[in-house]
Structure 1
């Protein structure tokens, strides 16, 4: 088996409207020895306004992001795709990647007319090294110890965690350095806790997860909500009626009698809060699981192992209760209205038709003049809009005048959206407001110079549209 460890740096945290500006990855063999590596940066797309805080965290200067010698975002994403496909099949790893890096990568692929689900395509798997470190700290604190903040609470930020475990960190919030640090953590756990490393690899496979949660009467799952993390002893009660990879489990420390007598509407409200008794496990998202016999007394308190097994058996013998709880859990899940913005239309829509999939492939193989004609043949309006945007960003002169002028107007409206509009993206006025507040944090030296330079850039761009 090979592994690909990757990291991205972005212009902010808004995954649909910010962009990747740096990507790095290494490919390793089964022993985590590097066999290949890749790194690329790109320039800023004109409709993306970086977050001042993101620039400060990464140390990137605005002049680096608008450097015309850098490849475009489209060129970078296409190259990333080519390299990663050449490294498949593989297990994709990153640090906090399943909630951040992978989402940015998927959306970049989608917006550049590539299939978005490369990391869990047939033959591939994915897992999160953050979860590896959390379970190692829980089960083998002699191998991984968390960092602590000023209040003494455990911290699992990459740089702080590495330093707390005597792993040298040359830089942070640089894609190349973060990949090296993530690789070092993997090597550290694999060498000192091979049983946890094997379990981590096991649960990167959907079939292994499903077999474990189905066959075990009770087990532990690691759950993160907001900035908090907890381990819960649970038993599987069923799965989503339409999404086969989504399974529901009941927290065995919950008040079972209260749950049995509670009206459905109250149970739904309970399941929408932080004290929800039902845990959702996605078998294709490499959940952090471990067997009951591996748990410490603190992890299963206030119950002991015997009580947990007895409760699990009682619940599993009550099929009507399990069916009712699954319906409640499904009803408690949030629903979102459809977005009018194409960037937010990856999820909740049908997969591309065979015709549109073929057109995507043709689009990438064609020259730009041919791509103009191909753009109009997409049957799914999402892909037609994305194709036209790519042409506008790369070869605007090829568009018909009415389309180009409409795109010019859309660009102006987007980057100059007033703060009062509460736009989903970051506009120049919003960035200027954030920058002013950020500079008041007593920045100095290079940090202050970076922010001042960014402020001048924003004023110049705003003047272009005045």
Structure 2
């Protein structure tokens, strides 16, 4: 296979809310660059609000997309086909700021519910993913002079909006997708100036490199049959109080999810209170996927120096104690490495990605036919889908995007029902939105934000009145 020239596709989303299963993308923006961060092309896609999606007032006062604008743009079905093609262009490394913490999963579910392959942009056609936020975390810790950092309560922070304000990179409104993409590229260009650290950081998002680094970690504990590697987990989720880092001990590869390894936090003071009966309450274990955050650094002195002496002392004491508890350590491994995600009953079809399994080759071919035929022929193809969940998704696509009328037997009976996702979260409703509007302290908002909420409230109350009159 001819190797395609690799490019970065910097992108950002603005959405109706934070639930990837039940919310939707309203704005997608992307700028493609070469690996030296020179711009090649840019894209912006506005997406019309689906009739069954209720936008969150909290999201609206953040991205400031008003109700009328939400009624315009491409259909979600059309937009996702365009976005899928961009992310799956051979050699594309899709990247954003916290993109692996939010945007990537949002697109994954958007692809899935529109009968598009949800994972191919991660591995096929020499494509891959990266995230600037974890990379920035390394510079925050080890090359802090590279940029100016926003200060909140005396602590340097990593918020993209604050970084732009401090460094004066891009004019424009934050939380506009295209502006945020431009800011992310401006930040990346600053980081790129320290090329050695940039190349090192980028390696954590390459599967072969990240996997090799994990295998090269020093041994923290060794017994007769197993060696447990030791590292320094680096992530914003560790918190600023912990300098965004945490010493960890590798428990091994998950026995069911082969792309995951599990890591035991070593700076927990209560760890030595763990017993065979209570260890789930006294331990903290973090999941790590290869080539994704969190980043795990080796326990070299230059990295250990970032941990304060008290936490180093706790780490060393916990390691020494665990060496004396081989049975407990083995029990920990057996429990966490066998632990699987629960199966959720009555899960909505748009939320079933992680339970439904991968489609067969026959199903993939039928999905392609569904996309290729004209709208009036799509239901004929969908009726041949062997999976009822996928048929249900086809019904929704035709209802949302093509105003297709179904008979009672064909109708998607769960379309307006109170449904739940894989985390047992319920779909956001009109009443939820009205309650949130009332709960928001509008004295903290500017005139535009108050106008957005007023417009949304008027629209929802009008719909409510209309429903009562029918």
- TM-score, normalising length from structure 2? 0.85
Q: Structure 1 residues 235 and 145 mapped into 2: Cα distance closer, same or farther (>3 Å)?
A: farther
Equivalent position of 2:35 in the other structure: 30
Deviation at 1:446, TM superposition (A): 2.3
* CA deviation string 1:368-420 (max 9, x = no partner): 122111111112222111011111223334x442257x45x755556xx9xxx
Match of 1:265 in 2: 277
Deviation at 1:166, TM superposition (A): 4.3
Preserved contact between residue 234 and residue 296 of structure 2 (Cα < 8 Å):
yes
Q: 1:350 — aligned with what?
A: 357
Match of 2:306 among 264, 282, 298: 298
For the residue of structure 2 that corresponds to 1:173, the secondary structure is coil
Q: Using a 3 Å threshold, how does the CA distance of structure 1 residues 441 and 346 change in structure 2: closer, same or farther?
A: farther
Task: Tell whether the 8 Å contact from 1:133 to 1:144 is kept in structure 2 after alignment.
Answer: no
CA distance in 1, matches of 2:336, 2:213: 21
List alignment gaps of at least 5 residues for structure 2: 1-5, 219-229
CA contact (8 A) 2:121 2:127 kept: yes
Contact 2:238 2:245 (8 Å CA) reproduced = no
Partners of 1:142 and 1:114 in 2: CA distance:
43
Q: Give the one of 403, 408, 419 matched to 1:402.
A: 408
- What's the offset of the Cα at 1:455? 1.3
Query: Do 1:206 and 1:286's aligned partners in 2 also have CA atoms closer than 8 Å?
Result: no
Asked if structure 2 preserves the Cα contact closer than 8 Å seen for 1:352 and 1:380, the reply is no
Q: How do residues 197-276 of structure 1 correspond to structure 2 at under 5 angstroms? A: 197-217=198-218, 218-225=230-237, 230-253=244-267, 258=272, 262-271=274-283, 276=284
Partner of 2:195: 194
Sort the Cα spacing of 1:319 and 1:204 in 2 relative to 1 into closer, same or farther, 3 A.
farther
Aligned residue number for residue 20 of structure 1:
25
Q: How does 1:101-250 map onto structure 2 within 5 Å?
A: 101-122=103-124, 123-149=126-152, 151-191=153-193, 193-217=194-218, 218-225=230-237, 230-250=244-264
Where 1:302 maps in the other structure, the secondary structure is helix
The 8 Å contact of residues 219 and 289 in structure 1, kept in 2 or not, is answered as yes
Which digits, 9 at most, give the CA deviation of each residue in 1:411-448, with x for residues without a partner? 5556xx9xxxx981221122111112226435452222
- C-alpha deviation, 1:337, in angstroms: 2.6
Q: Is the 8 A contact 1:12 1:50 kept in 2?
A: yes
Q: 1:62-73, aligned counterparts within 5 Å?
A: 62-67=67-72, 70-73=73-76
Deviates more, 1:294-303 or 1:385-394: 294-303
Is 1:340 aligned with 2:343? no
The alpha-carbon deviation at position 460 of structure 1 amounts to: 2.2
Matches within 5 A, 1:288-437: 288-293=295-300, 294-295=302-303, 297-299=305-307, 301-302=309-310, 323-330=330-337, 335=342, 337-397=344-404, 399-403=405-409, 406-407=411-412, 411=415, 424-437=426-439
Q: Would the alpha carbon gap of residues 242 and 182 (structure 1) be closer, same or farther in structure 2, given more than 3 Å must change?
A: same
* C-alpha contact (below 8 Å) 1:219/1:235 kept by paired residues: yes
1:320 CA drift (Å): 6.3
Does residue 80 in structure 1 map to residue 86 in structure 2? no
* Pair 300,216 (structure 1): closer, same or farther in 2 beyond 3 Å: farther
Map 1:79-98 → 2, pairs under 5 A = 79-86=82-89, 88-98=90-100
Worse-superposed segment, 76-85 or 434-443: 434-443
Change (3 A) 1:310 1:226: closer
Give the Cα–Cα distance (whole angstroms) in 1 for the partners of residues 325 and 276 of structure 2: 17
Distance 2:129 2:254 in 1: 22
Give the alignment's TM-score, normalised by structure 1. 0.86
The CA deviation string for residues 243-283 of structure 1, in whole angstroms up to 9 with x for no partner, is 12211234444579937xx4233112223xxxx2x433211
What secondary structure sits across from 1:281 in the alignment?
A: strand
Closer/same/farther in 2, CA of residues 442 and 240 from structure 1, 3 Å limit? closer
Q: Is the alpha carbon distance of 1:316 and 1:162 closer, same or farther for their aligned partners in structure 2, counting shifts above 3 Å?
A: farther
Query: Which whole-Å CA distance do the structure 1 matches of 2:323 and 2:365 have between them?
Result: 47
Aligned residues: 444
SS of alignment partner, residue 146 of structure 2: coil
Distance 2:137 2:167 in 1: 13
What are structure 1's unaligned runs of at least 5 residues?
A: none
Q: Are the counterparts in 1 of residues 248 and 264 from structure 2 also a CA contact under 8 Å?
A: yes
CA contact (8 A) 1:219 1:233 kept: yes
Which secondary structure state, in structure 2, belongs to the residue aligned with residue 295 of structure 1? helix
Is the Cα contact below 8 Å between 2:149 and 2:158 reproduced in 1? yes
Is the Cα–Cα contact under 8 Å of residues 254 and 261 in structure 2 kept in the other structure?
Answer: yes
